[in-house]
Structure 1
Amino acid sequence: MSALSLHRSNGRCAFTLVELLVVIAIIGILVALLLPAVQAAREAARRSQCLNNCRQIGIAVHMYHDTTNELPPSRMWDGGFTWAGVVLPYLEQANVRDLADFTKDFADQPDAVKETQIPTFLCPSRSHDLPYNYLRSEVIPNVTKANGSPHNGGGTTRGILGDYACISSTFRSGTGGFDHAFDGAIILPKLKSGRRFKARTSLAKITDGTSNTFMIGENSYWMSARASIYDGNDNPGAILGMGNKARIKAALPGDGRGVNFTQAEGGAVGSDPTKSQTDDKLCVDGTKNCPFWFGGDHTGVINVTMCDGSSRAVNKDIDLVILEDFVTRASGEVTAMDEL
């Protein structure tokens, strides 16, 4: 090798320390710009999965209706199974349903029934501290009462969590019979001998239109943590609006234990009494500090299932009056879908 070629080889250019630092800084900036987009894409995928869960639940309810000609009950009786247990065979969970005895209380069911996780009942956007609900003796993390003290769990029997609840009523003010008090799609049934039940509603009774009436919605972190989705002793269904307090308390297990009734008339049942109706509107459980019945971990929206089996996102800032129009099954009002 000649001296000239050796000199050229030794004289090759290389990155300086400053250049390396600049490149690293540029890469860091690009990553920082990309992360929000990645997170947004992941949340969009989780929200889509949650919507799909709502759709699958809607299909399961319709299959149950096709079999029985009635909608499932919100709960069979105080302490019995809820709508979620009734539709298990239609969510490809017949093996769990076969282990259950619907003539017995949820607390008396085998552990395999109470503790078998059902992915369709869980929203992927919500982080769960435990796979099961909190017992009454336990404290729900991140949930405090209005005075700032820790909030104990509301359930009495350990069971799987569920992030969806049937929408049973608005409890609007006024007088009326049972159908006025429970004006939603999935409500309490008529009890018969031998712990059998007969549903009070069917798709034919959704005279406001199945595409204009809510059936299932995302419940709050508080509601999910405090009660198993199967436990009819603490999971009576989601309620919107505030009417006759005595009627509400009489309709709920244990006279509405764990539900805050101190807010003004017109507010949302279970909402924070320190907030106005305008502040909480849809009972959005964004801070996990209040016992809301509805709530979602998606930014700006919660997902719902309509009575026609479809699913859609609902704006968390929707006016409560408009929201109640979509809860009632036979009130004669039909509000445009774009209001949601």
Structure 2
Amino acid sequence: MKIRSLRPAFTLVELLVVIAIIGILVGLLLPAVQAAREAARRMQCSNNLKQLSLAQHNHADVFKKFSPGNSDPRWQTELSGGNSWDRLSYLTSTLPYIEQTALYNQIAPYSAAGGRPWTVDDRTNSSTGAIIISPYKSNISAFRCPSDGVQISPNTPMPTNYVANRGDLYLSTTNWEWRGVFSNGVRGQANFGTITDGTSNTIMFSETTIGKNSGTALQDSILTSTTVNTLGSIGGPFTPSLCLATKGPNNTIAVQGQNSTSDTGWGKGRRWGDSANAYTGFFTIQAPNGPSCALGNAEHDQVSAASSFHTGGVNSAFCDGSVHFISQSIDTGDLTFTVDTPANTRTYAGRSYWGVWGALGSMSGGESSTYQE
């Protein structure tokens, strides 16, 4: 009679070895999965920038000009010169070109009823009694980069990760001078003809990380140093390295005087509808992911740097509609140089002081720097 022998079970040692091997494989796989996810998020960021740049091309087709960074004369006309029309950002006039016409149509009546880009309470039309919902509490996916996972409390102004090129010189939101594509609209508006350095050599948009809380020892790309007394002032001497010096170890910044620890503070990118430098603008002075600094009025006088949670740099859309990844090691010239003539910080029309990065921010500086990835 034939007797079948039973196969012995796994021993405890064999089981532990198998578990260890599986653990090692999972450990090897997780970074690849995370990298793939970040690559997908970065691609979505790039697509959003592409859509915003194409929206500006469509805007230029209709109006023969790009949107201004602030003080859009069309808002002044529509709102009869009042209701803080000058604080409406470039994104407000972009809405119809990204399939957000209904939201765009809320802005004028909401502003006429006393609403501002920093308010989210609903208003009442004094003539009809109709309730007007604030457009600024709308979280627009096209304005957000999925790599930035900051959570903003509901019923507060919603943010944006995409900011407009204000140029390569330290200018307040309210200044009339302009070297970047997005200007004070009362002074003038850029079009394809004003970009004499070439549309493929001039940045239109880049990214910003959304600021939230104040404090110290947090990522410099998120927070802003608002009382760096050695920074300089609008119309006065300006030395970028003094701002760069606020950057501490482990990519942190010592923050002094950040306005608020709440979601309604002056954090970068915090209001997509507001044209102040802090929210919807950036300058090509500090390298990408460098610190942002301001003196005095942190909203209007902030010298915002482009920043992102992507490793090593930021996505940027150029005026020809292309999108490139800009390394944070890009040439920025000599940041210890002091622009010491007050007029220079406002009316200088020559080549950029700040290397290739500065040249990409000036639309008519006479440079022909093309960024090579």
Q: Give the equivalent residue in structure 1 for 2:234.
A: 246
Answer yes or no: is 1:164 the counterpart of 2:162: yes
Paired residue type of 1:100: I
Task: Tell me, in whole angstroms, the C-alpha distance in 1 between the residues paired with 2:154 and 2:206.
Answer: 20
Task: Tell me, in whole angstroms, the C-alpha distance in 2 between the residues paired with 1:111 and 1:75.
Answer: 23
Answer yes or no: is 1:293 the counterpart of 2:293: no
Task: Tell me, in whole angstroms, the C-alpha distance in 2 between the residues paired with 1:73 and 1:310.
Answer: 20
Q: Secondary structure at the match of 1:282?
A: coil
Equivalences for 1:271-282 in 2 at 5 Å? 271-275=243-247, 281-282=286-287
Match among 195, 198, 202 for residue 213 of structure 1: 202
Match among 190, 201, 206 for residue 190 of structure 2: 201
Answer yes or no: is 1:184 the counterpart of 2:187: no
Q: Give the equivalent residue in structure 1 for 2:225.
A: none
Q: Deviations over 1:218-237 (max 9, x none)?
A: 02333x889xxxxxxxxxxx
Kindly state the Cα deviation for residue 335 of structure 1 after the two structures are TM-superposed.
Answer: 0.9
Instruction: From the superposition, tell whether residues 333 and 82 of structure 1 become closer, same or farther in structure 2 (CA, over 3 Å).
Output: same
Kindly state the Cα deviation for residue 265 of structure 1 after the two structures are TM-superposed.
Answer: 3.2
Paired residue type of 1:305: A
More displaced, 307-316 or 78-87? 78-87
Q: Give the equivalent residue in structure 2 for 1:113.
A: 135
Paired residue type of 2:323: S
Q: Which structure has the larger Rg over C-alpha atoms? A: 1
Task: Tell me, in whole angstroms, the C-alpha distance in 2 between the residues paired with 1:119 and 1:292.
Answer: 22
Q: Determine if contact 1:75/1:82 at 8 Å carries over to the other structure.
A: yes
| TM-score, structure 1 normalization | 0.68
Q: Determine if contact 1:73/1:186 at 8 Å carries over to the other structure.
A: yes
Paired residue type of 1:37: A
Answer yes or no: is 1:14 the counterpart of 2:21: no
Q: Give the equivalent residue in structure 1 for 2:357.
A: 323
Instruction: From the superposition, tell whether residues 244 and 15 of structure 1 become closer, same or farther in structure 2 (CA, over 3 Å).
Output: closer
Q: Secondary structure at the match of 1:97?
A: helix
Instruction: From the superposition, tell whether residues 337 and 272 of structure 1 become closer, same or farther in structure 2 (CA, over 3 Å).
Output: closer
Q: Determine if contact 1:285/1:296 at 8 Å carries over to the other structure.
A: no
Q: Determine if contact 2:356/2:369 at 8 Å carries over to the other structure.
A: yes
Task: Tell me, in whole angstroms, the C-alpha distance in 2 between the residues paired with 1:243 and 1:317.
Answer: 22
Q: Secondary structure at the match of 1:89?
A: helix
Q: Give the equivalent residue in structure 1 for 2:67.
A: 72
Q: Determine if contact 2:247/2:291 at 8 Å carries over to the other structure.
A: no
Q: Deviations over 1:235-292 (max 9, x none)?
A: xxxxxxx9983338xxxxxxxxxxxxxxx834179x454349xx994151589xx985
Task: Tell me, in whole angstroms, the C-alpha distance in 2 between the residues paired with 1:89 and 1:225.
Answer: 32
Task: Tell me, in whole angstroms, the C-alpha distance in 1 between the residues paired with 2:231 and 2:56.
Answer: 28
Q: Secondary structure at the match of 1:25?
A: helix
Q: Determine if contact 1:220/1:293 at 8 Å carries over to the other structure.
A: no
Kindly state the Cα deviation for residue 201 of structure 1 after the two structures are TM-superposed.
Answer: 1.4
Give the total of aligned pairs. Answer: 262
Residue segments in structure 2 that go unaligned for 5+ positions in a row: 73-83, 124-131, 215-229, 252-284, 293-301, 333-354
Q: Secondary structure at the match of 1:165?
A: strand
Task: Tell me, in whole angstroms, the C-alpha distance in 2 between the residues paired with 1:52 and 1:90.
Answer: 15
Q: Percent identity over the alignment? A: 31
Task: Tell me, in whole angstroms, the C-alpha distance in 2 between the residues paired with 1:219 and 1:12.
Answer: 62
Structure showing the higher helix proportion among its residues: 1
Match among 79, 96, 102 for residue 95 of structure 1: 102
Paired residue type of 2:98: L
More displaced, 89-98 or 107-116? 107-116
Kindly state the Cα deviation for residue 17 of structure 1 after the two structures are TM-superposed.
Answer: 1.2
| TM-score, structure 2 normalization | 0.62
Q: Give the equivalent residue in structure 1 for 2:256.
A: none
Instruction: From the superposition, tell whether residues 292 and 75 of structure 1 become closer, same or farther in structure 2 (CA, over 3 Å).
Output: closer
Match among 14, 17, 22 for residue 27 of structure 1: 22
Q: Give the equivalent residue in structure 1 for 2:88.
A: 81
Equivalences for 1:223-262 in 2 at 5 Å? 245-247=233-235
Task: Tell me, in whole angstroms, the C-alpha distance in 1 between the residues paired with 2:241 and 2:209.
Answer: 13
Q: Determine if contact 1:272/1:292 at 8 Å carries over to the other structure.
A: no
Q: Determine if contact 1:99/1:112 at 8 Å carries over to the other structure.
A: yes
Task: Tell me, in whole angstroms, the C-alpha distance in 1 between the residues paired with 2:64 and 2:231.
Answer: 31
Answer yes or no: is 1:308 the counterpart of 2:320: yes
Task: Tell me, in whole angstroms, the C-alpha distance in 2 between the residues paired with 1:291 and 1:202.
Answer: 24
Q: Determine if contact 1:75/1:187 at 8 Å carries over to the other structure.
A: yes
Answer yes or no: is 1:335 the counterpart of 2:369: yes
Instruction: From the superposition, tell whether residues 268 and 86 of structure 1 become closer, same or farther in structure 2 (CA, over 3 Å).
Output: farther
Q: Secondary structure at the match of 1:303?
A: strand
Q: Determine if contact 2:313/2:325 at 8 Å carries over to the other structure.
A: yes
Kindly state the Cα deviation for residue 112 of structure 1 after the two structures are TM-superposed.
Answer: 3.9
Q: Determine if contact 1:161/1:225 at 8 Å carries over to the other structure.
A: no
Task: Tell me, in whole angstroms, the C-alpha distance in 2 between the residues paired with 1:243 and 1:330.
Answer: 26
Instruction: From the superposition, tell whether residues 286 and 43 of structure 1 become closer, same or farther in structure 2 (CA, over 3 Å).
Output: farther
